[in-house]
Homo-oligomer: A and B are copies of this chain.
Amino acid sequence: MRKEGFGELVSLAQALKIMDSFITPLLDEEVELGNSLFRVLAADIISPISVPHFRKSAMDGFAVIASDTFGANDTHPKRLTIIDTIRAGMVSKKSITHSHCTEITTGAPIPEGADAVIMVECTEDKIQNPKSQIQMLEDGKQRTEQKEKELIIYKSVAPGDNVIEIGSDIKCGTLVFSKGTLLNSRYTGVLAAMGISSIRVKNKPIVGVLSTGNEIIASGNPLVDGKIYDINSRTLIDALIEQNCEPINLGLVKDNKAELKNKILDSINTCDLLLISGGSSLGTEDLMKEIISEIGELLVHGIAVKPGKPTIIAKILGKPVIGLPGHPTSALSDFYILVLPVIKKMLGINPQEVQPQVEIIEAELNRKVVSTIGRYEFLAVKIDVVQGKKYAAPVLRGSSAITTLATADGFIEISENTEVLTKGEIVKVKLF
């Protein structure tokens, strides 16, 4: 009797489509901005203010009426009276009229009447007799200051020079970030700039991780022949943390139907997604299929991918369950090509962020690679940089090796229709 096969394998695209059809988006919650790093926006962000919300100086210098400086140069400097000093954080109530100016620091508000700032480096100031200065004022007003200074200007400025206009960075009422944006430190900075102190974000995906297989033992246990330490729980849980999920470590279960079924029933309701990493023993898959037939719906058994063929997709009590192969390489490959898209779908992450093209680098393949027609292949590669040029070196395939995968920097996707990648070919590497 020949071993039973998988029946017809579904393609990776079909598998993703099947998952898409029953994944429900996560609910959302309000968090303080200080806890929003790595979270995904659940609503568009419309700016409540303009940034800056006042006209401000881009330089240390003097706020002037630009036309007062026209024609100024080293031999024919212009002279203005300094009527005030505005430091950042202050406001001046003194309007600028012709022949007058105000000392201003970077970030300080431009006083009324001024339309440009001349850089301090293009000027010189000196203390004048304040009385005589006052008498020269065009508006004729009396000043109470005991001293005033004269500014000598050696260069002209045009209207608008060194003035940052209201809303030049962010206009009040405009869309700043779309729903589905994953927040990094630069984005939270922008939210802070608008004075936003709390935002709505998607709940973190709660993902259960269960390892099965009679050969798998937890660290700390004595190592006997035939047994191996659990790798996948660690890798999957940490990969989930890297992807900002909340993993639940459901531990190890032997290939025992009652135990496995109870564990699934006990935990499925607390998870948004359940990952079951199978041992490589033949028994696990059969047990999984039996359990699913009793309490759920088997949607996919076997995907045309390499590695990762014996993958199971099921729906148990309405929740998505992915049965990953026991081989660490296969489990991790499935994580990147199958689990990650599901997580991003749940979070409503913008499609263009699902595979940000920026994190795909091009490299020259350092040897010929033969693949299989009809199967998508996930090929882990290490990037070697030689004289500034990037080479993609495929790491060992088809084994349970974990160290080689650890040294990989990313992976190449070889499509179902590709049989050979030639040495020297430029390949696109998705970084881990």
Q: A interface vs B, CB < 8 Å?
A: 1-3, 33-34, 37, 49, 51-54, 58, 60, 87-91, 105-109, 120-121, 123-126, 164, 168-170, 176, 184-197, 213-216, 219-220, 223-239, 241-242, 249, 255, 279-283, 326-328, 332, 357-359, 361, 383, 385, 390, 398-406, 408-410, 431-432
Contact = CB atoms under 8 A, between A and B. Distances in A.
A207 to B, nearest CB: 13
A348 to B, nearest CB: 20
A203 B87 CA distance: 41
Contact of A120 (B3, B107, B237): B3
A132 to B, nearest CB: 20
Contact of A234 (B54, B192, B224): B192
30 contacts: A33-B219, A37-B238, A51-B402, A51-B403, A58-B399, A88-B281, A89-B213, A90-B226, A91-B226, A105-B282, A106-B327, A164-B399, A168-B401, A186-B402, A186-B405, A186-B408, A187-B406, A189-B232, A189-B235, A189-B332, A192-B231, A192-B233, A192-B234, A193-B231, A196-B219, A197-B220, A358-B361, A358-B383, A358-B390, A358-B409
Contacts of A228: 51-53, 107, 193
A90 B196 CA distance: 59
B88 A229 contact: no
Contacts of A406: 186-187, 189-190
A88 B281 CA distance: 5
A174 B228 CA distance: 19
Nearest to A382: B358
B226 A108 contact: yes
Given A107-B279, A279-B88, A401-B169, A241 B120 contact: no
Contacts of A237: 34, 185
Contacts of A52: 228, 400
Given A195-B220, A225-B54, A185 B235 contact: yes
B192 A91 contact: no
A146 B387 CA distance: 68
Nearest to A91: B226
A164 B61 CA distance: 74
Contacts of A53: 223, 225, 228
**Which of A186, A197, A232, A235 is the most central at the interface, judged by chain B CB atoms within 10 Å of its CB?**
A186
Contact of A87 (B105, B187, B282): B282
A107 B229 contact: no
B223 A34 contact: no
A128 to B, nearest CB: 13
Contacts of A37: 238, 241-242
Contacts of A234: 33-34, 185, 188-189, 191-192
**Which of A60, A106, A121, A432 is the most central at the interface, judged by chain B CB atoms within 10 Å of its CB?**
A106
Contacts of A121: 2-3
Given A37-B238, A58-B400, A358-B410, 6 more contacts: A168-B399, A184-B242, A186-B402, A189-B231, A192-B219, A193-B402
Contacts of A54: 225-226
B403 A385 contact: no
A408 to B, nearest CB: 7
Contacts of A196: 219
B185 A229 contact: no
Nearest to A47: B403
Contacts of A279: 88-89, 107
